[in-house]
Amino acid sequence: MTSPGTRSDAQAEDLDVEEALALVRENPGPAHRGPARPGPGGNGSPAPHHPANSRHRATPWPEARTTAERAARAAARAARRTPLAVPLDAALGLTLAAPLAALTDLPSFDTSAMDGWALAGPGPWTVRNEGVLAGHAEPAPLVDGEAVRIATGARVPPDTTAVLRSEHGRTDERGRLHPTRDVVHGQDIRPRGQECRSGDQLLPVGTLATPAVLGLAAAAGYDTLTAVPRPRVDVLVLGDELLTGGLPHDGLIRDALGPMLPPWLRALGAEVRSVTRIGDDAEALHRAVTSCDADLIVTTGGTAAGPVDHVHPTLRRIGAELLVDGVEVRPGHPMLLARLKDDQYLVGLPGNPLAAVSGLLTLAEPLLRTLAARPAPEPYTLPLRDAVHGHPHDTRLVPVVLRDEGAVPLRYNGPAMLRGIAAADALAVVPPGGARSGQEAELLDLPWATGGIGVCFT
Ligand SMILES: Nc1nc2c(c(=O)[nH]1)N[C@H]1C(S)=C(S)[C@@H](COP(=O)(O)OP(=O)(O)OC[C@H]3O[C@@H](n4cnc5c(N)ncnc54)[C@H](O)[C@@H]3O)O[C@H]1N2
Ligand code: MOO
């Protein structure tokens, strides 16, 4: 097994967080909002693909992911994406677009590390009547032979030579303080600037704002963080058969994707602005797509070639460029990625719920991650506990739980089923032809199972 982490090897060349950040910082000017022009392909630009009126062969699964990454880099270049000053309570999960430099010394004054007495010189000491508490103004200086009660975090008086912990001192009948063990000069004083000096770089550009980063930023004097804005996503849920509440009846079923996608997209770095349910109505879909100014439109359903599958005809009608039109992956092979404008893309997720998850992780994840300037997770593998049937030509994504004995494939992994993925920790990438028991398989972690920032869905 190789351990998961942040990718730092040569693969980073294709997906360079620094570059994504540089694109945001450069703020290259007004976005071109006209119809998409074919890109030159190659590094940083999606490869030129086919217009939406021709059906091409499906893209191999790894290539589909790379294409989505490249599309995001091209979009970031085309868009006007200036770093934002984001209040700390809204910055979780964002990427820092500026280094975090300390705005103050930390601690910002000499402070007591313990509850006890601040002392000057050798004991015994006479103890002042008034103690010193955290948050109070600077106390008067101590003179040799003097002590004052002090609380953890309080400012030590000028000329303090050490702090004596409460449990290491006793007062005699005349009220004088004696140490019960040796006192070392400077003990239990946190000197000003011990952690950092004002201006020190605490964290570099590209750091993910975790809860700990928010805490450090607050301690260092920040009210806002300069961060890469979240890519804005609008979700369009297609299908006449979908109910938003109650039990399925009369051939109607519950919409599983409307509730599932927004938090998942947020975990991938997006700001989900809206979820709109559209029936199988080509005009309504056309109106929704053409009036949308999101960075990414995610549609669900309607990707196949049925009579009410309106995604392809709509893309043709608006002159969109299909970068990915079907992927050699099961489930989810009808998924697609289209460029609508230089800085606007559409990911078409198949309607079958597990197929939609497959599209989310294959196309939306690399696209959003790159736009959000998040680092790619380092690929890792685990042995499969059980053999997994393969598709003859396509990659399979199979829900698994991670156990000591390896990745355990789950049942209920059909394209229309969510029962497997709802119990899963990850998806195993099963190559064409299948995998033997004990064979190493690449794993795609699910955001709630990684224990990382992805668990924070706010
Ligand atoms: N002739 C062919 N038919 C189909 C093919 C094919 O290659 N040739 N591919 C199949 C595969 S694979 C998939 S996946 C689906 C993709 O279908 P669409 O993206 O067009 O989706 P729909 O037809 O709208 O729906 C498919 C299925 O999923 C259900 N659905 C849709 N939306 C939701 C939702 N929000 N929540 C829950 N379930 C949803 C829908 O009711 C259908 O049962 O096409 C196959 N057909
Ligand atoms: O892509 Mo479909 O998911 O095989 O049902």
d(CA 312, CA 117): 76
**Cα 310 to ligand 2 centre (Å):** 17
* 278 in the same domain as 251: yes
How deeply is 307 buried, as exposed, middle or buried, from its count of CB atoms within 10 A (0-12, 13-18, 19+)? exposed
Whether residues 208 and 160 share a domain: the answer is no
352 touches ligand 2 (CB under 6 Å): yes
Q: What is the pLDDT of residue 21?
A: 60
Q: Is the CB of 396 under 6 A from ligand 2?
A: no
CA angle 185, 187, 188 (to 5 degrees): 155
415 CB under 6 A from ligand 2? yes
Cα(174) to centroid of ligand 1, in Å?
Answer: 88
Instruction: Examine the domain organization and report whether 349 and 253 are in the same domain.
Output: yes
Whole-angstrom CA distances from 148 to 127, 138, 158, 161 are: 5, 13, 12, 12
**38, 173: one domain:** no
Shared domain for 238 and 355, answered yes or no, is yes
Residue 97 belongs to domain spanning: 84-106+195-227
Query: Is there a single domain that holds both residue 262 and residue 363?
Result: yes
Residue 79: per-residue pLDDT: 78
Distance 352 CA to ligand 1 centre (A): 5
Q: Last residue of some domain: 353, 371, 389? A: 371
199 with 122, same domain: the answer is no
Do 322 and 214 share a structural domain? Answer: no
Q: What's the rounded Cα separation, in Å, for the pair 388 and 408?
A: 10
Predicted structure pTM score: 0.85
Q: Which amino acid is at 127?
A: V
Residue nearest to atom 4 of ligand 2 (CA): 331
Residue 350 lies in a domain: yes
Ligand 1 center to 73 CA (angstroms)? 30
Are 372 and 94 spatial neighbours (Cβ–Cβ below 8 Å)?
Answer: yes
CATH number of the domain where residue 199 is located:
3.90.105.10
Question: 347 and 418, same structural domain?
Answer: no
Q: Which residue, of 322, 341, 371, is where some domain finishes? A: 371
| Phi–psi pair at 411, nearest 5 degrees | -75, -175
Instruction: Report the CATH number that the domain containing residue 393 is assigned in CATH.
Output: 2.40.340.10
Tell me the C-alpha distance between 310 and 238, whole Å: 9
Give residue 213's identity as a one-letter amino acid code: V
How many distinct structural domains can be found in the chain? Answer: 4
Residue 310 domain-assigned (yes or no): yes
Torsions phi, psi of 145, nearest 5? 85, 5
Q: Do 275 and 178 have their domain in common?
A: no
- Report the distance separating Cα 76 and Cα 81, nearest Å: 7
Same domain, 268 and 340: yes
Q: Domain for residue 401, yes or no? A: yes
Query: Residues with Cβ < 8 Å from 267, sequence gap 6 or more?
Result: 447, 448, 454, 455, 456, 457
If one counts every other C-beta atom within 10 angstroms of the C-beta of residue 326, the result is 19
ipTM reported for the complex surpasses 0.90 = yes
Q: Is the CB of 331 under 6 A from ligand 2?
A: yes
382 CA to centre of ligand 1 in angstroms:
31
Beta strands at 327-330 and 253-254: parallel, antiparallel or unpaired: unpaired
* Within-domain flag for 403: yes
Which residue's CA is minimally distant from atom 32 of ligand 1? 351
Structural domain contains residue 2: no
Q: Is 350 in the pocket of ligand 2 (CB under 6 A)?
A: yes
Q: What are the pocket residues of ligand 1 if the criterion is a CB atom closer than 6 Å to any ligand atom?
A: 237, 239, 241-242, 253, 255-257, 300-306, 309, 331, 333-334, 350-353, 355, 415
115 close to 85: Cβ distance less than 8 angstroms: no
Whether 332 is in a domain gets the answer yes
pLDDT on residue 192: 97
CATH number, position 354: 3.40.980.10
The half-sphere exposure of 123 on its side-chain side, counting CA atoms within 13 A, is 26
Per-residue pLDDT of the chain (458 residues; tens, 9 = 90+): 333 443 333 333 333 455 556 555 544 333 333 344 333 333 344 444 444 544 458 999 999 999 999 999 999 888 767 899 999 999 999 999 999 999 999 999 999 999 999 999 999 999 999 998 888 888 999 999 999 999 999 999 999 999 999 999 999 999 999 999 999 999 999 999 999 999 999 999 999 999 999 999 999 999 999 999 999 999 999 999 999 999 999 999 999 999 999 999 999 999 999 999 999 999 999 999 999 999 999 999 999 888 888 999 999 999 999 999 999 999 999 999 999 999 999 999 999 999 999 999 999 999 999 999 998 989 999 999 999 999 999 999 999 999 998 999 999 999 999 999 999 999 999 999 999 999 999 999 998 876 555 555 55
Could you say which ligand is closest to the alpha carbon of residue 327?
2
On whether residue 3 sits in a domain, the answer given is no
Q: Which ligand has its closest atom nearest to the C-alpha of 350?
A: 1
Within a domain: residue 388? Answer: yes
DSSP conformation class of 284: H
User: 355: Cβ below 6 Å to ligand 2?
Assistant: yes
Based on the fold, state whether residues 362 and 262 are members of the same structural domain. Answer: yes
Helix, strand, or coil here: 353?
helix
